[in-house]
Structures are given as structure tokens and as C-alpha cells.
Amino acid sequence: MTARKGYLLLENGSVFAGKLLGQLSPTSGEVVFNTSMVGYDQVISDPSYAGQIVIMTFPLIGNYGINRHHLESDTPWLRALVARELCPESGCQHYQQEMRLDEYLQDNNIPCLTGVDTRALTRMIRTRGTMGGVIVDSLDAKEELIKSANLGLQPPPEGFVMQVSRKVITHLGSGSSKRIVLMDFGVKKSIITSLLRLGCEVLIVPAATTASEIMALNPDGVLLSNGPGDPLNCPYAIHTISNLLGKLPIFGICLGHQLLALALGGDTYKMPFGHRGGNHPVKNLQNGRVFITSQNHGYAVNKDSLKDPDLELSFINLNDNSVEGLRHRHLALMSVQFHPEAAPGPEDTRYLFDDFMTMIA
């Protein structure tokens, strides 16, 4: 792929120069960073990054190419990728490689800005919070471009979740164990694989599926998936979950965790720069164990908003004490802010899928 001079212009007017690979038109979005050292292929294919320009803080990416088996969705939804260095063609020699990273980005019309001082860029975001940004090949009409950077924070008219969610029901698995309805808010393939590995029959339904439609499928439990954007932009999902409470066992992951908290009367807030990476420590409040987890979210549950006396915290984040998990003393429900399926990251908390099966049983 041919490179040319390129720039990332932030809404505060800061400019980071580099080499631009990919499309010519300006690309705007919310600028966020991910601290994972490996798993760039799973990061860029995670639907939760819809609408975002993703910075990889690890300095060299692309060294093992792309294998479609490892991708988390068929279509990547991020707006653009920013890296310090992409592995040169001569360095991509992994035996599982099907194509180079730059080839994958080009095939999916995702611009990539390389040669950027990602350390300085990440430090700025950690200090000032996530910002809108725009990737361009010219800084002419800078004031207009700054307006474009601000517009990059706006979701599409239908919302990010409706943009990435599937439109029809998908039926997977033989059903030799339990029938699980998986509400698709932007689900990663690894979550689906985790359920299939346990022998579940999985019915993946669109995000706007109603409670009555879910009950008509006669499931044993419901899993609320991860997904992009502000949970308050999904009132249809909150309404559905509210009508399922007490009727079926429910397990919420990431955005699903936030939506479950909202359905239980809680509130959420936007974090300064979110949690994105495979090295976030959380503490299990039931037994005191600490786990290193994979995370990808920019919103969190407000602990003080949880008024139900029977709703208890199950996990907290050891870096900032944010809510990482919920359980109910009487209702069959559980949720976690982190990703027990990892991909990328540690799989220490994969046992939570087994806990969900036990809850159903």
C-alpha cells in the first residue's frame, strides 16, 4: 500500500504527523487507545470500536499478519488505526498468516496512520480525556477540520449498536445442553464460541428484539453482549431487559453489563479515557481473588446509583474502584464489565460462562 504524508488533528487543535495508508477522504471519530501487546487483529475486528479511531500503544504491530479465523467479526467497524510502526513486508512471516495487516486494512477501506509518536498522543488523551479527531492528508482549512473532529464524536442517526447488530436471527449449535438467546449489541465471535464450547444451542437475535419475542423462543437463559457507544442510546434494549428480569437467568458482558444496571434502576457515566487493553486488574469481592482482565469500554456503572438492597457488587477495578461486576441475591442474574472470553488477553475469568450454566441449572 502506498504511503503519503498524513495527520491526526484532534478537536483541541493538536496535530500528530505520520505516514497515511489508505483512503483519501478525511476520516473522523472518537480517538481512543488500547494497551494490548498482542491481539491487534482481534482489537481491530471488535464491533465495540465502531465510530472510533484506535491507537495501539504497543510500538510495533502487524508482525504476525492476519488470519481470518482469529477475527472477532466479519466486518471491522473502527474508523481508522494509528500506530507507531507497522511491521514491514519482509518481517511478516508467521505460518498462520493469510494476509498482511496493511492488506487487510486496505481491503476494508480502513485508513492507517503510522510513524506517529503514540506515546505522546496517549499521554495527551490520558491527561485531557478522549477527544474527537480527524485523519487527513492536508491541514488546509484547519478550522473546518477541527469542526469535523468534533463531529466525529456523534453517533450515526440509528446509533452505533443498531449499526453493528445483525438484522435477522442466527441459529447455531445442536442444543444438547442449554438454549441461550444472545442479544447482539455488537457481539464478538469469541463470546459465541464460548457458549458453543459448552454445548449450548445459541440463538443470536437483533438488538431491538422485544422481551415477548425472546420468550417465544423458549430459552433457558439470556446473554447480553458487548457493543459500542453510550448505553443510554439503547432505550429499546433497556426496556426489553426490564421485562425479562425475574423470568430468565441473565448474563451481561461489557455493554450488556451496563444495560442490565440501567434496567435495574442504576445509572452510567462516561469515563475520562476508558479501559481498553488486556491488563486490567479486578478483584472478586466474594473470595478476594484478583484477576487480570481484558477490557474495552468508555462508559461505566455509577456505584452510588445502585439502590436495590439485593443488588451487590461482585467485582471492582483495582485501578480506579469502578464497578466491574454485579450479582443479585434473589434474581438469577450476573454481569461483568470485563471480557471473560478475552480475545485478546488473559482467559482467567472464562469460568464465568460455567457459572452462568450453573445459574441456569
Q: Which of the residues are catalytic?
A: 254, 339, 341
- How far apart are alpha carbons 265 and 309 in whole angstroms? 12
Q: What share of the chain is helix, strand, coil (3-state, %, to 5)?
A: 25, 30, 40
Residues near 127 by beta carbon (within 8 Å), at least 6 away in sequence: none
**What are the grid coordinates assigned to 317, written together?**
477495578
Q: What stretches of the chain adopt beta strand conformation (E)?
A: 3-10, 15-21, 27-34, 52-56, 60-61, 80-82, 85-86, 112-114, 131-136, 170-172, 179-183, 201-205, 221-224, 250-253, 268-284, 290-301, 311-317, 323-328, 333-336
Containing 257, the helix (H) or strand (E) segment is: helix 255-263
Residues near 40 by beta carbon (within 8 Å), at least 6 away in sequence: 56, 58, 61, 62, 101
- Phi, psi at 286, each rounded to 5°: -80, -35
DSSP, residue by residue, 52-96: EEEEE-SSEE-TT-B-GGG-SSSS---SEEE-SEEPPGGG---TT
